Amino acid sequence: MRIVLLALLIFFINSALVFVPLYNSRLVVLGQENEQNLCNFHRIKKFDTQGKLIASWGTKGTDDGQFLHAHDIAVDSSGNVYVTDEERQDVQKFNSNGTFIAKWGSPGLGRGEFSPRIEDINIGSSNNVYVVDYGNNRIQKFDSNGKFITMWGTKGSEEGQFDRPWGVAFDSSGDVLVSDLRNNRIQKFDNNGTFISQFGKAGDGPGEFIHIHGVAVDSAGDIYVADARQHGHVQKFNSDSTYITQWGSLGDADGQFDELHGIAFDSAGHVYVADTANQRIQIFTPDGQFLTKWEYKGAQNNEFIMPQDIAIDSSDNVYISDVGDAHPEISYVNRVLEENQDSVEPNCE
């Protein structure tokens, strides 16, 4: 497949188009009217609940407020926004309008250090920040200023161990739910990392998972799990982990998904799902009835290349991380372009 893509890219290299492969080998074609549009791939985008863009920020780079792979996003009770970056291997903190406040983290295995795969982030009680350190198979907990508090997890399949943790959420009691991708389960801990319980196993039936991503809890205490790769659906459980319902399948029609990731809720209880490879956000009722979608495909500020995660604040502002060309598959295309053209990388300064 990569040989075919390479041939296509070389054939069109002198045209005004950029081709970007997504998970199912479809190609996104971006009209390259000006190189600055490519900088919008490294952005956080803020919308109202009607899908109107309010603000956006970020460009490609390693300076404060820039991103290399802005992956997941969370909002605290004061409206501050936290973003994990897989390639920078850090967390950045902004105010609600995108002004940089602080950052923490560096590559490594120690306290406050992260693997090359840093995934979900969420805010617990007292605005403590929980970060999924995917590659190190652990959860790290910080205060809102980035001071390390504790961490837990090692690689394995026993209780309290992980094999590629992905998502983190909190139930109504403040306990921590973690989606354990390769173990096909959700694990529950107290807020200091003591194991409480688990549910789920590998399979195709209700309450069974294959390649889970995000996990989220609504105001009623119900648990939603993004069962992404083979199933392409959302599963819903009550607070006791009893299966309630599910919706979705693989595809690009309304209510279908291709590589779904983040899940969030507005004050009306509507369920927002980042349908990443379909380049859109879909919105549902709590029982899975499709309501609408934000299908803004493109590289403008109010458009999506690969919307990865969603966070919604107490005023119903919707924040979306768009990983864009920072995704490894897209980075491959950039390398091909760079080998055949003198100036592919945009000037994002």
pLDDT for residue 298? 82
Segments of the chain with pLDDT less than 70: 1-41, 324-349
pLDDT for residue 162? 98
264-314 per-position pLDDT tens digit = 999 999 999 999 999 999 999 999 999 999 998 887 778 888 999 999 999
Distances (CA, A) of 97 to 146, 147, 306: 20, 23, 22
Q: Does residue 342 lie in a domain region? A: no
Q: Angle at which helices 328-340 and 2-11 pack, to 10 degrees?
A: 40
Range of the domain at 233: 39-324
Task: State the sign of the Cα–Cα–Cα–Cα dihedral 265, 21, 120, 217.
Answer: positive
DSSP 160: T
pLDDT for residue 29? 39
Q: Does residue 344 lie in a domain region? A: no
Q: Does residue 339 lie in a domain region? A: no
- Entry pTM: 0.85
Gap between the Cα atoms of 198 and 54, Å rounded: 39
pLDDT for residue 125? 87
Q: Does residue 19 lie in a domain region? A: no
pLDDT for residue 231? 86
- The number of beta carbons lying within 10 Å of the beta carbon of residue 79 is 15
Residue 215 phi/psi, 5° resolution? -135, 140
CB 257 within 8 Å of CB 212: no
Q: Does residue 4 lie in a domain region? A: no
Query: What's the distance, Cα to Cα, between the start and end of the chain in Å?
Result: 34
Q: Which helix (H) or strand (E) holds 59?
A: none
Q: Does residue 211 lie in a domain region? A: yes
DSSP 3: H
Q: Does residue 349 lie in a domain region? A: no
Q: Does residue 213 lie in a domain region? A: yes
113-140 per-position pLDDT tens digit = 999 889 999 999 899 999 999 999 999 9
Please give the tally of structural domains in the chain: 1
CB 137 within 8 Å of CB 149: no
Residue 280 sits in a domain of what CATH number? 2.120.10.30
